[in-house]
Chain A
Amino acid sequence: MAAFEYRQAEEVRDAFARHAVRYLFIGKSGAILLGFPDTTQDADLFVERSPTNCAALVTALRQLGFALSEPQADEIRRGKDFVQLKNGPFDLDLVFAPDGLERFEDAWKRRVEVEGFPVCHIDDIIASKAATNRVKDRESLPRLRSFRNYWLAKHGR
Chain B
Amino acid sequence: MANVETPAHLPADCMEEFEAAARRPLPLRWRYAFIHTYKPVLDDASFRAFDTMEDYRRWCEQNLPDWLGYGRV
Contact = CB atoms under 8 A, between A and B. Distances in A.
Nearest to B15: A150
B22 A154 contact: yes
Interface of B: 1-2, 4-7, 9-11, 14-15, 17-18, 20-22, 26-27, 29-37, 39, 42-43, 45-53, 55-57, 60, 66, 68-73
Contacts, number: 146
Q: Give chain A's interface residue range (CB within 8 Å of chain B).
A: 35 or more
Given A3-B35, A134-B73, A35 B29 contact: yes
Interface stretch (A15-23, A49-57, A78-86, A103-111): A78-86
Contact of B7 (A1, A99, A150): A150
Interface in A87-116: 87, 91, 95, 97-99, 114-115
Contacts of A127: none
Given A83-B48, A85-B47, A136 B68 contact: yes
Interface secondary structure of A, over-half rule: mixed
Contacts of B66: 135
Interface of A: 1-6, 9, 29, 32-33, 35-41, 67-68, 72, 75-76, 80-87, 91, 95, 97-99, 114-115, 132-136, 138-139, 143, 146-147, 149-151, 153-156
